[in-house]
Amino acid sequence: MIGDPIKSIKETISVVDGPQGDGGELTRGYLVGKDNLAIIDTGTKGSLDTLFQEAVVNRNKNPKDVKYIFLTHPHPDTMAGVYRLKKIFTKAQIAINQKCEEVAKNPKNVLKVKYFKYTKKERLYFAIRKDPFDELERFKPDILFKDGDKFDLGDGKLMVINYDSHCLGHSMFFYTTERTMFIGDALSIYPSLPHSYLIDHSASYKQWFSNIEFLLKAKISVLCPAHDLEQEGRHVKPYIEDVVRAFNEFESQLVMSMLERKFLTVDDLIERVHSAQGIKWYHPYNVLAPRANMNAHLNKLVDEKKVKRNDKHDPVTYTYMASKKDWY
């Protein structure tokens, strides 16, 4: 980690950065508010505990002044710190989208089965390497919010904006005082090369695009991701457009691969597209992300009737059906 792990980007917004991940990605949370304080995202287990305590002291506040711990989504890199933070900030209410209530009751199993659909390959991989979901324990949220809910921080409000774009129940928070959008993993997550995104198995490419369209139209002064640097002013829109460009370039390469061979499995397509684009993911998403993203793209092309899913093949294969003129 380079530089001060705690910094103020606005008078009422502090960035809290923990250790970087295998790919150089940030483990980031935010302390928001002036009168009443709110934490947005907790990082991995034990990564931000003392830093959030220090950030509160830097504001000349006490632990009891932290009223909320908001979770943008239930993945371990944004949620696994909630257990210790709740013990530190005892007056804080844990808040998560109501769609994530099932995850809160049994996070390890629900995330592995429903959100990432562990196969034998994933189970074998994490038998040797550390499984990020093992950091998660059952917890009881104090607040189950929904899209459009608002929370008063005294100097301003946080409004919930929910699109199931990155995963089921993924939520952004718009802070009215500074016109700041805390986007969680709506746009990007652990860096692959080139810049990328993740749409897990519980999410939807349609919701992902709706989320993008919303962000492009919204009047945002500051954009705050969970694993990347904040973007301000004129840099906000290009940052969003860069992620859209990555999505479209991936899909174009996917179609090109399918034009070269009639029947291709998901694994075939991952190998071809990643090799052609020089995409590299880092632990643990080198195992989890490629198949999830590929399925999201294939679902989109199947829905558009450009690709046929051959369910009678074992394993299942995909065939490009639309006119080649669409891509040349």
Distance CA(285)–CA(272), nearest Å, equals 18
Query: CATH code for 6-243?
Result: 3.60.15.10
For β-strands 157-162 and 143-145, DSSP reports them as: unpaired
**HSE, side-chain direction, 13 A CA sphere, residue 143:** 17
- pLDDT values of the chain reduced to their tens digit, one per residue, 328 residues: 456 899 999 999 999 999 887 777 788 999 999 989 999 999 999 999 999 999 999 999 999 999 999 999 999 999 999 999 999 999 999 999 999 999 999 999 999 999 999 999 999 999 999 999 999 999 999 999 999 999 999 999 999 999 999 999 999 999 999 999 999 999 875 555 555 789 999 999 999 999 999 999 999 999 999 988 999 999 999 999 988 988 999 999 999 999 999 999 999 999 999 999 888 888 888 899 999 999 999 999 999 999 999 999 999 999 999 876 665 4
Domain ranges of the chain: 6-243, 248-327
Distance CA(15)–CA(30), nearest Å, equals 5
Distance CA(15)–CA(40), nearest Å, equals 10
252 sits in which H/E element = helix 236-260
Confirm whether pTM is higher than 0.75: yes
CB 198 within 8 A of CB 293: yes
Query: CATH code for 248-327?
Result: 1.10.10.10
DSSP 186-211: SS--S--SS------TTS-HHHHHHH
Distance CA(173)–CA(167), nearest Å, equals 16
Tokens read off for 235:
């840099």
CB 310 within 8 A of CB 318: yes
CB 164 within 8 A of CB 149: no
Distance CA(233)–CA(297), nearest Å, equals 31
> Rounded to the nearest 5°, which phi and psi values hold at 15?
-95, 135
